[in-house]
Structure 1
Amino acid sequence: MSDAARDPAVRDVVVVGASAGGLATAEGLRRGGFTGRITLVGAEPHLPYDRPPLSKQVLAGEWEPDRLPLRPDADIEALNLDLRLGVTATGVDPRARTVALDTGEEVGYDALVAATGVSPRRLPGGGGHVLRDLEDALALRDRLRPGRRLAVVGAGFLGAEAAAVARGLGCEVTVVEPAPVPLAHAVGAQVGQVLTQAHRERGVDLRTGVGVTQVYDGGLELADGTTVEADDVLVAVGSVPNTGWLELGGLPVADGLVCDEYCAAAPGVYGVGDVARWDNPLFGTSMRIEHRTHAGEQGLAVARNLLNPDEPRPFAPVPYFWSDQYDMKIQAYGYLRGHDEVRIVEGDPAERRFLAAYRTGDRLVGVLAIGLPPRALRPWRRHIAAGATWYDAVGDPPAGETTEPREVVSDVAPA
């Protein structure tokens, strides 16, 4: 047992958010020897469950809700939590170290972990389905039948996954995306075009470069004056961090709870998962990551630092995410946003089997693969974790620099 675990100064830990990040924090504390009270507050009535399958296996009808829990009931019970499900935090007082709940209670803490995630961004008027929690997925699944018409607003990963599932179920699908190339801002134009072509080949009516002005009963009205008729509309236009309760307490908020490299936002206050924006020293930038594996890793990191306050460790992960669309398995490591160059270093995009490397400045900052096994990415992940330069990892200079001629498989203009 660590010295911090025995320190009577930290007796009560309140974790607000009962999903992957919040659960990982609680588990990390118990594994580290913490014997004090852990209050786990969750807005949903369910025990912690896995969210990525909602837009894949659950929406497709391949999984039922009983496959989603992150841990068996017995494992949750063994954590000896003060579990408050179906309860929402409405405010926090960092000076008094209390959290206000919508039940009217105030819960005291020595350490507070904010893991409240995000809420779906909605269009003006608020129409259409969203896809964030189990009830959302089940409600939409009940509507997806052969011949039904689904309109998806937003061609990001969530919208694309839902579109792929709906086509597999025999629905007619229209996807509307304001950007000229879906996901180009995140993964680059060439990769975005590969994903675009996959949807069009499978019969998705993908309309790019046009926005939505209205969601109405029966479809969409687009900015170019056209309409899309649909039985159901899924709005997948991003998310908003659930920080209102934190902001009321005067905690630093800017597109998430602002944290340092140790995931601390203020004395005794930490952020975990989708809601947290923290300084990642590996990339030298502040970032907020909305991925399942990241939330779990950050929860464990916060637990470790809570248990070892005299020797905290910076949280410097290589983020990872994946997406399943049709028969394509998409995997990525690193921080791809804001990249300066994308280069295909293995395979052929035309065959949807390739690996793309991403450069920011002189650093290799990310890789993305489609149709390759996980082992193909592992050496690249090690390069990213080691802070490798582009030249050391790729063997060629950045685009635009002159040197002796080298063979380059493919270059993509900065996205």
Structure 2
Amino acid sequence: MQQQPPTIDDIRGAAARIEGNVVRTPMLVSRTLSEIVGAEIWLKFENLQFTAAYKERGALNKLLQLTEEERSKGVIAASAGNHAQAVAYHGKRLGIPVTIVMPEPTPTIKVTQTESHGAKVILHGPMFDDAYARARELSLEQGFHFVHPFDDAQIVAGAGTLGLEMLEDAPDLDTIVVPIGGGGLMSGVSIAARALKPGIELIGVEAELYPSMKCAVDGCQLPLGGDTLAEGIAVKAPGQLTSRILRELLDDIMLVPERDLERAVAMLVGIEKTVVEGAGAAGLAAILSDPKRFAGKKVATILCGGNIDTHLLANVLVRDLVRQGRIARLRVAAEDRPGALALITQQFHEAGVNIIETNHSRIFTSLPAKDTVIEVECEARDAKAIDDVVSRLEAVGFKVERASLD
């Protein structure tokens, strides 16, 4: 049978059901981001849930409505991480055996955190769709109750409790911007928001590499696939239920490139001092990518997850410094003679730029055999200082090339 979308009463019921067992997360105005965008920017800090993601809401609402027989047999889920942790955590609390099937490339932090909640983790396949298929097979073979990450009315209703909280905290919102993977979060928020404030603008956001819901809603065909920072919303096929809901309720779906996702993650660390994964930062990335669209409005977005690998986060932050011009790699062509390196380092000293690392390349270069390329990785207080050192190097006769991320 075709599932029916949850109603506002279902969402209110979910809110009562899960109250006290999930965090009633804060929603705050970001003064700095508001100034940058030229709008009043509200952030819903769902990364402050115990498992660092909003998925707890839907998972708990679902688990609390299982029969005693379903609980005793156990549940199984397929997830890239956040849904897995939510089901595992609340399953353990409720005494329900949990098995999770994850794609093989799932970040280690998400695997270990899921296992720490007592779940049995099975790694299978390169993509979510492969893990999903295996979980479905095991559900049939072993009698586990399958807990879908997004295409389930009870999951959607749980996610919709966010919409209730957001409009309770900021009833004058003009626009809500929400990341979309399979569409469960956006569906729940849309149902709640349309019921409470019919004229509110609802905008979904997908990673540019995975525009699956946009294609489902708009009937378009766009390239799909690639390695995205927002692996939590890297879904090839959105839900049937969620697609129907969003086709009816959504105003638009924006696509954001990887560069904007990286920028949003870095800005949230730098400005809000909060850690958000790529998928969780997608809403802010969309707002920052088109500030004119949101100028003068009261806009809210959900920081829906904070589970990012620390090494990946470090890379994102350093890459952002490169884009700001505060870290650079310069390739300086020079004669391979005594004093050349000293003259080069002198220019860095006079410009007040710190040298992090140097490397001589005498072999793999198109320069004459008597010449060398000296690569210098450096850091400075601002982009102007890097420009200054380049000018100084060129003024004393060196040819300089700057490495670029783009």
Please report the TM-score for the alignment, with normalisation by the length of structure 1: 0.31
Q: Compare the two structures and name the one with the higher strand fraction.
A: 1
Q: Compare the two structures and name the one with the higher helix fraction.
A: 2
Please report the TM-score for the alignment, with normalisation by the length of structure 2: 0.32
Please say which structure displays the higher CA radius of gyration: 2
